[in-house]
């Protein structure tokens, strides 16, 4: 009797896990793509087959299954390995230049372009009447 | 206007790249320095029914060395670890190993550890931010991690860094 | 004996390069000497390359480089491509490509004024001398090993692949080809002659270099896709970025050259772009070979070599920039143009492309910067690049539609709006409706498809007035359509790709995207230098058989490396991708199955772009022999 109850309980757990699996796998994969494999030459945890990468992917899966949020898992990794493990650099003072840099480049480019165009117009001299005549004569 | 930024920017770039030649992009410093050693309770390698927690070492300065029988650099650093064990208690963390391999390895090469704990799944190692064996930690009397060395210990590092640090911590009380 | 001959040839080549570098730049009347020197270098370096190839083919393990990268069990074709499988040999390939370009310039420069030809070849001589010196002093491929080992360490299994045959040579032809644009720019600065004619001479060379670079990058991406086993095709890895940055700037350069050639404008800017493009090529070489950044592509790392390359970079680019700063004041402005004109739109294209290149540069080097100033260690990876790159490129893709329709010098915004309104309407409508075809509507996919349809419809719009356009014009149309195809591929793959990891035993099946993948059996396979397991997957859709796929998991014996050879079923509208992972207990295997819609459009788009470039470069006005002959006939 007890054995049957244990069996039923076990089946229920398996069923529950199986039901969760699709969303869980997707979330695990998504997180694994954000984290760096520390023993590899620049690969994500998702792409690596190194033993540590497999272990860490399992950690991610377990924690998500236990109800932790994505941010919790990321914090977990950073607490142990430092910010190096994040492929998306966190926004803080030191990385401000990195995140706004591209848009600064764009703005700078557009500004220089606008200035260039304005300078061109200014550089085009307007000829006076006398100068116009002189030019016409020279061109004959 | 453009002409001054170009040479300046270029010189800065060359300077940055030159500085980069002296750095090691693969070395990941530990964020745990200055933080309390993560809690764990693990069975001993030699006596599976006895357990050890890092709190047992409070009041003493000690060294935690992560090793494995399948790890060639661990063998390379073994003499250095043995030497170090003469002046400070060294406790081993056997990482993702099998007892049948680890115990003979210690017999063959000598056991410098006061004892080793057995982290078969590698979970505790993850808590300690281990990413490649061997790694070595210096932990002070209050249980705070003061130093981490990544890779095999050399005599130089053991003498200049580790022993000096241990002496300092001991002296400081 | 043969390797020593190769070494002597390289030393001689260095001597000839020095002559080619010094004499024509000192005395621009010595174009004939410059041409002879260039051709001499070509012969010598080709001979040296032949010697190294001979050493590989005959398994001469007394040559250290051969011992490091080859093995007697290695099949012949990989022994040949293994010549460029490591740092020293690949650098010899680099020098060989440079000599190919030098010989090409020496042959196809009869239409150039003699002093220009002399200076261009002179600058290339300086470059060649620097590279040969680097190779001879720090990376000699002919170093001997005593005692010679009985066998070699084998070529890295990842490189034992047909992709190895084409990817590095194409890529290096592109990288090194930008040195021709660079040399033209420096020669122009030296001579003080910088005009539309200069742009007309420089343009086909630059376009062809761009074509090679495009093909080289596309091949690298395709190779990573099928070789690395997990279905990725771009990782924003530092070395990949190192090839992408010069590509972005080279694209800006070919557009800028268009303006300089047609209207004499942007001269100073074009010269600067040419210098920066080649500078980024050199930066790429530095990043790959110095160990400053971590990458799967990095060669064996040696800071000493890094210092030498850094010095070359500082000398060549620093020197060129100094020359630019000194001489640019004399260049002056070209033809004037209004704020709304083809010129200004092309300038807009340039601004966006250069900002994009700057972004990739920033992201790639930022970890180094943070580390150098002691602010810790960070990683900058795909999440960052994907976030910042798309907003920059989207406006550039939009402008691609407007630019070709705008008039030179002065365009009318209302007129453009009228001409483009149908194209805009159609693009938005079709673009944002199409995702429904895939059953899963997404704004991002709609946006990407709208941009692609916009590019194609506006490109075809330029042909509305008349189908009789120059070859250069058709080249542009084709290349832009290639970009649109690329955008379609990226958008649909990113939007709709799916994958499944499963533990499978023979007899079991998984379902993905409407396809059923049934594992029939696992057999063992044996290759010349590997042994492994091969799975047989029968794929069906709605009960009808589609294909059979054979992914493998190989163990290469010499280097003791395990590699997975994915099985791919390519198709116009989708790729099916199956890779065999680790074996598990109980006879089961880890299997990863992926569905990649329209992924082949990515590389197809790149090839179409390259085709467009070739069309443009072969335009009639560059066929000087024809013009000279016609002129001679007319005069007679």
- pLDDT of A1 > 70? The answer is no
Indicate the residue of A78, A80, A83 with minimum beta-carbon distance to B127. Answer: A80
A39 close to B (CB below 8 A): yes
Cβ–Cβ gap B6/C321 under 8 Å: yes
Cβ-defined contact of B129 to A82 (cutoff 8 Å): yes
Q: Does residue B21 sit in helix, strand or coil?
A: coil
B106 within some domain: yes
Q: How close C418 gets to chain B, by Cα (Å)? A: 38
- Contacting residues of B for A83, CB less than 8 Å apart: 31
On whether the CB atoms of residues C57 and C148 are closer than 8 A, the answer is no
The β-bridge partners of A35 are: A86
The nearest CA of chain C is from the CA of B96 a distance in Å of 18
Residues 56-75, chain A, touching B (beta carbon < 8 A): 56, 59
The closest CB to that of C384, out of A82, A89, A117, belongs to A89
Beta-carbon separation of A94 and C235 below 8 A: no
Residue B137 has pLDDT above 70, yes or no: yes
Set of chain B residues whose Cβ sits within 8 Å of the Cβ of A52: 122, 131-132
Please tell me the distance in Å from A39's CA to the nearest CA on chain B: 7
Full DSSP string of A108-139: HHHHHHHHHHHHHHHHSPPPPHHHHHHHHHHH
CA pair distance B71, B125, nearest whole angstrom: 15
How many C-beta atoms lie closer than 10 Å to residue B98's C-beta? Answer: 13
Mean pLDDT of the region B23-27: 84
Cβ pair A106:C351 closer than 8 A? yes
- Domain extent for B96: 32-172
The vertex-C501 CA angle with C496 and C504, nearest 5°, equals 135
Residue pairs between chains A and C whose CB atoms are closer than 8 Å: 110
On whether any CB of chain A is under 8 Å from the CB of B131, the answer is yes
* Residues B28, A79: C-beta atoms closer than 8 Å: no
Q: How many CB atoms lie within 10 A of CB C82?
A: 27
Interface of B with A in 9-38 (CB under 8 A): 28-32
C613 neighbors C512 (Cβ within 8 angstroms): no
Token readout for C141 is 């491929």
Tell me the per-residue pLDDT of B72-119, one tens digit each, with 9 for 90 and over: 999 999 999 999 998 899 999 999 999 999 999 999 999 999 999 999
CA distance C173 to C183: 15
CB contact under 8 A, B129 and A39: no
**What pLDDT score was predicted for residue B169?**
84
Comparing CB atoms, the residue among B7, B20, B29 nearest residue C292 is B20
Contact of A88 with chain C, judged by CB distance below 8 Å, is answered with yes
Instruction: List chains touching A (3+ CB pairs under 8 A).
Output: B, C
Contacts of C388 in chain A (CB under 8 A): 99, 102
Token couple for C49: 């390359």
CB contact under 8 A, B23 and C369: no
Does residue B6 sit within a domain? no
The residue of C292, C324, C365, C369 whose CB has the most chain B CBs within 10 angstroms, and thus the best one to mutate to test that interface, is: C292
C-alpha–C-alpha distance, residues C37 and C587, integer Å: 65
| Residue-wise pLDDT tens digits, C195-234 | 888 888 999 999 999 999 999 999 999 998 988 878 889 9
Q: Determine contact, residues C284/C245, Cβ cutoff 8 Å.
A: yes
Which residues from C are below 8 Å from A92, CB to CB?
none
In a domain, B14, yes or no: no
Which residues in chain A are contacts of B129 at CB distance < 8 A? Answer: 80-82
C372 with B20: Cβ contact below 8 A:
yes
Best mutation target, C293, C298, C378, to test chain A (most A CBs within 10 A)? C378
Q: Which tens digits make up the pLDDT trace of C427-481?
A: 999 999 999 988 889 999 999 999 999 999 999 999 888 888 888 999 999 999 9
Task: Give contacts of A 17-56 with C, CB under 8 A.
Answer: 25, 29, 33-34, 36, 40-44, 46-47, 49
What b/e sequence results for C138-166 when a residue is b if at least 16 CB atoms lie within 10 Å of its CB, and e otherwise?
Answer: bbbbbeeeeeeeeebebbbbbbbbebbeb
Of A38, A55, A82, the CB nearest to B31: A82
Residue C163 CA to residue C221 CA, distance in Å, equals 10
Domain ranges for chain C? 498-597
**Domain presence at residue B100:** yes
The predicted pLDDT at position C594 comes to 93
Q: Which residues contact B8 (CB under 8 A, 6 or more apart)?
A: none
Question: Which residues have C-beta within 8 Å of that of residue C570, sequence separation ≥ 6?
Answer: C600
In sequence order, which ranges of C291-341 are alpha helices (DSSP H)?
A: 303-331
Q: Return the residue matching tokens 């006879």.
A: C587
Number of neighbouring beta carbons within 10 Å of residue C126: 20
**Which residues in chain C are closer than 8 Å to B3, comparing Cβ atoms?**
325, 328
Which of B28, B33, B34, B121 to mutate against chain A (most A CBs within 10 Å)? B28
In this complex, do A82 and B29 lie within 8 Å of one another by their Cβ atoms? yes
Helices C267-290 and C342-372 pack at an angle, to 10 degrees, of 30
Instruction: Note whether residue B2 is domain-resident.
Output: no
Residues 6 or more apart whose Cβ sits within 8 Å of residue C309: C134, C282, C285, C286, C289, C290
CA end-to-end span of chain C: 57
Give the C-side interface with B, CB within 8 Å: 286, 290-294, 303, 306-307, 310, 313-314, 317-318, 321-322, 324-325, 328, 365, 367-369, 371-372, 376-377
- Helix C238-263 to helix C163-191 angle (10° resolution) is 40
Write down the pLDDT at residue A125. Answer: 58
Interchain contact A108–B (C-beta under 8 A): no
Looking at the structure of chain B, the number of domains it has is 1
CB contact, 8 Å: A105 with chain C? yes
Q: Does residue B98 belong to any structural domain of this protein?
A: yes
Instruction: Give the pLDDT confidence score for residue C297 in this predicted structure.
Output: 80
Q: Answer for the pair C346, C255: CB distance below 8 angstroms, yes or no.
A: yes
Exposed e or buried b per residue across C417-448, where buried means at least 16 C-beta atoms within 10 angstroms of its C-beta? eebbeebbeebeebbbebbeeeeeebeebbbb
Q: Which two tokens stand for residue C254?
A: 């070919």
The answer to whether residue B11 is domain-embedded is no
Residue C300: other Cβ atoms inside 10 A:
12
CB contact under 8 A, C381 and A87: yes
pTM: 0.91
Indicate the residue of B28, B126, B129 with minimum beta-carbon distance to A55.
B126
Q: HSE, CB side, 13 Å, CA atoms: give it for residue A109.
A: 22
Q: What is residue C623's predicted lDDT score, i.e. its pLDDT?
A: 65
CA distance B38 to chain A (A): 10
Q: Identify the pLDDT of residue C162.
A: 85
Nearest-Å Rg of the Cα atoms of chain C is 26
Residue C206 burial by Cβ neighbours in a 10 Å radius (0-12, 13-18, 19+): buried
| Domain assignment present for B82 | yes
Q: Which residues of B touch A82 (CB under 8 A)?
A: 28-31, 129
pLDDT < 70 regions, chain C: 331-334, 622-636
Q: How far is CA C47 from CA B38, C55, C97, in A?
A: 62, 12, 13
pLDDT at B173 > cutoff 50: no
Phi then psi dihedrals of residue C265, to 5 deg: -95, 175
Cβ count within 10 A of residue C624: 16
| CA gap C191, C411 in Å, rounded | 35
**pLDDT band, residue A19 (cuts 50/70/90):** very low
- Round to whole Å and give the CA distance between C474 and A111: 33
Torsion of CA C247, C252, C257, C263, to 10 degrees: 170
The CATH number that applies at residue B140 is 3.40.30.10
What does the mean pLDDT of chain B come to?
90
Q: Please state the three-class secondary structure of C322-379 as a single string.
A: HHHHHHHHHHCCCCCCCCCCHHHHHHHHHHHHHHHHHHHHHHHHHHHHHHHCCCCCCC
Residues β-bridged to residue B138:
B63, B147
- Cβ contacts of A47 on chain C, cutoff 8 Å: 228, 230, 232
Q: Which residue has 């790639």 as its token pair?
A: C364
Across the interface, do A94 and C370 touch by the CB < 8 Å criterion? yes
Contact list in C for residue B28 (CB cut-off 8 A) is 377
Q: How high is the pLDDT of residue A20?
A: 46
Given a cut of 50, whether residue A18 has pLDDT beyond it is: no
> Which ipTM did the prediction report?
0.87
């Amino acid at each position: 009797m007890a054995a049957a109850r244990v069996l039923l309980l076990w089946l229920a757990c398996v069923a529950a896990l199986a039901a969760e699996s699709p969303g869980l796998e997707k979330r695990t994969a998504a997180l694994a793509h954000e984290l760096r494999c520390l023993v590899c030459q620049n690969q994500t945890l998702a792409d690596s087959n190194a033993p540590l990468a497999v272990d860490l992917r399992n950690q991610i899966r377990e924690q998500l299954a236990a109800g932790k949020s994505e941010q919790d898992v990321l914090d977990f990794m950073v607490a142990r390995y430092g910010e190096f493990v994040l492929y998306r650099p966190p926004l803080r003072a030191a990385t401000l230049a990195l995140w706004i840099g591209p848009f600064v480049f764009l703005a700078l480019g557009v500004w220089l372009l606008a200035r260039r165009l304005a300078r061109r117009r200014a550089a085009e001299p307007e000829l006076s009447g006398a100068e116009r005549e002189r030019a016409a004569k020279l061109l004959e | 206007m453009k002409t001054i930024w170009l040479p300046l920017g270029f010189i800065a770039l060359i300077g940055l790249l030159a500085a980069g030649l002296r750095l090691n992009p693969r070395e990941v410093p530990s964020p745990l320095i200055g933080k309390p050693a993560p809690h764990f309770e693990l069975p001993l390698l030699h006596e599976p029914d006895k357990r050890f927690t890092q709190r047992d070492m409070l009041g003493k300065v000690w060294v935690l060395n992560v090793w494995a029988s399948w790890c060639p650099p661990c063998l390379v650093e073994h003499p250095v670890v043995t030497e170090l064990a003469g002046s400070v208690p060294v406790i081993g963390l056997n990482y993702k190993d099998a007892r049948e391999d680890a115990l003979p390895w210690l017999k063959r090469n000598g056991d410098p550890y006061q004892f080793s704990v057995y982290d078969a799944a590698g979970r505790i190692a993850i808590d300690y931010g281990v990413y490649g064996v061997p790694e070595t930690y210096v932990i002070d009397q209050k249980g705070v991690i003061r130093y981490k060395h990544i890779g095999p210990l050399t005599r130089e590092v053991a003498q200049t860094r580790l022993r000096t640090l241990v002496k300092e911590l001991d002296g400081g009380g | 004996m043969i390797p020593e001959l190769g070494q002597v040839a390289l030393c001689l080549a260095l001597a000839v390069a020095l002559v080619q570098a010094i004499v024509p730049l000192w005395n621009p009347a010595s174009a004939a000497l410059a041409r002879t020197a260039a051709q001499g270098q070509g012969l010598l370096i080709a001979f040296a390359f032949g010697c190294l190839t001979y050493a590989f083919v005959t398994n001469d393990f007394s040559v250290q480089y051969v011992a490091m990268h080859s093995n007697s069990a290695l099949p012949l074709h990989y022994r040949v491509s293994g010549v460029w499988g490591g740092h020293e040999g690949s650098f010899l390939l680099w020098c060989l490509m440079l000599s190919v370009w030098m010989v090409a310039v020496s042959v196809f420069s009869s239409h150039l004024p003699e002093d220009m030809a002399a200076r261009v070849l002179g600058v290339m001589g300086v470059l060649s001398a620097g590279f040969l010196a680097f190779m001879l002093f720090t990376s000699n491929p002919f170093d001997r090993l005593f005692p010679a080992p009985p066998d070699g360490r084998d070529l890295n299994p990842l490189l034992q692949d047909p992709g190895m045959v084409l990817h590095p040579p194409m890529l290096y032809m592109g990288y090194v080809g930008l040195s021709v644009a660079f040399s033209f720019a420096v020669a122009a600065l030296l001579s003080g002659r910088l005009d539309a004619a200069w742009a007309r001479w420089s343009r086909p060379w630059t376009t062809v270099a761009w074509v090679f670079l495009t093909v080289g990058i596309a091949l690298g991406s395709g190779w990573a896709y099928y070789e690395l086993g997990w279905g990725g095709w771009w990782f924003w890895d530092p070395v990949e970025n190192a090839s992408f940055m010069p590509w972005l700037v080279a694209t800006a350069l070919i557009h800028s050259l268009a303006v300089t050639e047609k209207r004499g404008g942007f001269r100073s800017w074009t010269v600067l772009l040419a210098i920066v493009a080649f500078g980024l090529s050199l930066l790429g070489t530095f990043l790959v070979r110095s160990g400053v950044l971590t990458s799967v592509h990095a060669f064996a790392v040696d800071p000493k070599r890094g210092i030498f390359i850094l010095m070359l970079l500082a000398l060549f680019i620093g020197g060129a920039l100094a020359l630019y700063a000194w001489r640019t004041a004399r260049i002056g402005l070209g033809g004037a143009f209004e704020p709304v004109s083809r010129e200004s739109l092309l300038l807009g294209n340039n601004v966006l492309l250069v900002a994009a290149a700057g972004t990739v540069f920033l992201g790639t080097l930022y970890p180094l910067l943070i580390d150098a100033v002691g602010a810790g260690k960070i990683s900058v990876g795909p999440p960052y690049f994907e976030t910042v790159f798309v907003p920059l490129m989207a406006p550039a893709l939009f402008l691609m539609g407007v630019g070709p329709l705008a008039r030179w010098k002065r365009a009318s915004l209302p007129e453009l709006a009228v001409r483009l309104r149908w194209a805009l309407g159609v693009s938005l409508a079709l673009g944002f409706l199409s995702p429904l075809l895939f059953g899963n509507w997404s704004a991002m996919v709609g946006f990407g498809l709208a941009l692609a349809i916009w590019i194609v419809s506006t490109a075809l719009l330029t042909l509305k007035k008349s189908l009789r356009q120059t070859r250069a014009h058709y080249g542009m149309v084709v290349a832009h359509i290639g970009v649109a195809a690329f955008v379609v591929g990226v958008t649909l793959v990113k939007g709709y790709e799916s994958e499944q990891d499963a533990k499978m035993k023979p007899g079991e099946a998984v379902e993905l995207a409407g396809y059923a993948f049934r594992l029939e059996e696992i057999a063992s396979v044996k290759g010349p230098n590997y042994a492994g397991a091969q799975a047989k997957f029968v794929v069906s859709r709605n009960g009808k058989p589609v294909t059979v796929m054979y992914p493998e998991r190989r163990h290469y014996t010499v280097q003791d490396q395990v590699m997975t050879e994915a099985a791919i079923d390519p198709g116009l509208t989708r790729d099916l991708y199956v890779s065999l992972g680790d074996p598990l207990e109980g006879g089961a295997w880890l299997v990863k199955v992926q569905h990649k819609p329209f992924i082949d459009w990515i590389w197809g788009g790149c090839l179409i772009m390259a085709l467009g470039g070739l069309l443009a470069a072969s335009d009639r006005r560059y066929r000087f022999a024809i013009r000279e002959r016609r002129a001679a006939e007319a005069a007679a």
